[in-house]
Chain A
Amino acid sequence: MVDCDICQILKNKAAFKFIYEDELCFAILHESPAIVGHILVIPKKHAAILEELDDNIIEHLYVISNKISTAIFDTLGAQGTNIILNNGTAAGQELPHVVINILPRQENDNIKLEWPTKKVSDAELKTTQSMIKSYSDNIFSGKDSLPNIKIKQETKVDEDYLIKGLKRIP
């Protein structure tokens, strides 16, 4: 897409730290990383959320993410990795293009991704289960007839690192 900041990365490769590229996806180092070695894996096809991508692209993205995660274990001495996809603005997604974050993890690295768990009763779980099951069988069996999800997108233009990167044209 012409006005997508992430799609623009491919037009100005020299401004970014590419560590991998093939016909379907590419991977770059985050320029303002959560931790040293923070990587972004990005599909070349423009898609705002995961649900808009075909199965073969999703398979490819995660197979490559796994290889990158393995390379992080091998070369950066990481003792763990996180692979995170924030899907939709409500999930903290900042630009309307699917991005997978890969984080190398170390002991005492000060990254807090653990969530406070909610106490729920068996009855509440049963209610949630039946709410999801009211339509999920259609989705899993491929008889899904609901329209595609449109997620509200708000783009923060002022100080995004990717835009900053784009401006840094040599």
Chain B
Amino acid sequence: MNPVNLDNLSPEEILELQRKNCIFCKIIKKEIPSNLIYEDDKVSVILDINPANEGHCLVLPKEHYQILPQIPDDLIGYLFNIAKKTSRSLLKTLGVEGTTIFVANGALAGQKAPHFMIHVIPRHKGDLLFDIPRNRIEEDQLNNIKTKLSERIAALTGKRIVDKELEKTEKKVSKIKSAEKKKQKNLSKKDKALDLDKISGLFS
């Protein structure tokens, strides 16, 4: 087979190529065997063959998506509700006392294959998985991130959080803006007056 030069391909063609070579797409289409737990027209749930614990399940959208931000909202809702049912199935049948619902977006977050998946992992006390560490952080740094993130989240969701400090600054800004507008208005009046002087001057 000739090596494919990715530079000559359109984004759609690259995606098509990824789909063709995606192991999970092949598992979903049953071209590769797996231990299926559940499937419908949108999703397949299979056992991970290299589990973190016995009963480790993968919730896979049938459509090929690489990461969560690419997936439409209604499908996100559907997939995580299937994850909830998967979690309940594990709690009811394997005698475990907890589960971890885990998503990695991107290789640096630990994503191993370019097909989005939700891991549903049975947990045992003291199994030392997913220990989320805690660190100290400066108040200034927290405030800085808060401003950056809440602005962007407000833009993405169309919802602004009620924040008294933020409101104060916004009020200040709008005061300054309206003062500037007034100034502009007065200026333009002056300009007009000047123009009229000029024009009338032409006739004299």
Q: Which residues of A contact B (CB under 8 A)?
A: 17-22, 27, 29, 31-37, 39, 50-51, 53, 55-56, 58-64, 66-76, 79-93, 101, 103, 105-107, 111, 113-120, 124-126, 128-129, 131-137, 139-140, 144, 146, 149, 151-152, 161
Contact = CB atoms under 8 A, between A and B. Distances in A.
Contacts of B150: 18-20
Interface stretch (B3-11, B21-29, B157-165, B171-179): B157-165
Contacts of B129: 115
A80 B106 CA distance: 5
B94 A90 contact: no
B169 interface: no
A55 to B, nearest CB: 5
A146 B151 CA distance: 44
B76 A63 contact: yes
B163 A18 contact: yes
A133 B37 contact: yes
A131 B142 contact: no
A55 B83 CA distance: 11
Q: Which 10 A-B pairs have the closest CB atoms?
A: A59-B77, A88-B98, A80-B106, A80-B109, A91-B98, A90-B98, A117-B50, A115-B52, A136-B89, A90-B97
A62 B80 contact: yes
Interface stretch (B12-20, B130-138, B184-192, B193-201): B130-138
Nearest to A93: B98
Given A20-B153, A128-B35, 17 more contacts: A21-B159, A32-B136, A34-B132, A35-B135, A51-B84, A66-B73, A68-B153, A76-B149, A81-B105, A82-B103, A86-B123, A87-B101, A88-B98, A92-B98, A92-B132, A106-B108, A120-B51
A31 B110 contact: no
Contacts of B136: 32
A120 B54 contact: yes
B87 A84 contact: no
Contacts of B153: 19-20, 27, 67-68, 71
Contacts of B49: 120, 125
24 contacts: A17-B143, A32-B135, A62-B80, A68-B149, A69-B105, A80-B108, A80-B109, A81-B106, A82-B105, A82-B109, A83-B103, A84-B100, A84-B103, A85-B100, A86-B98, A91-B100, A91-B130, A92-B100, A111-B133, A118-B50, A128-B54, A129-B36, A134-B93, A140-B82
Contacts of B79: 62
Given A82-B105, A92-B130, A129 B35 contact: yes
Contact of A149 (B91, B123, B162): B91
B116 to A, nearest CB: 11
A159 to B, nearest CB: 10
A118 B93 CA distance: 20
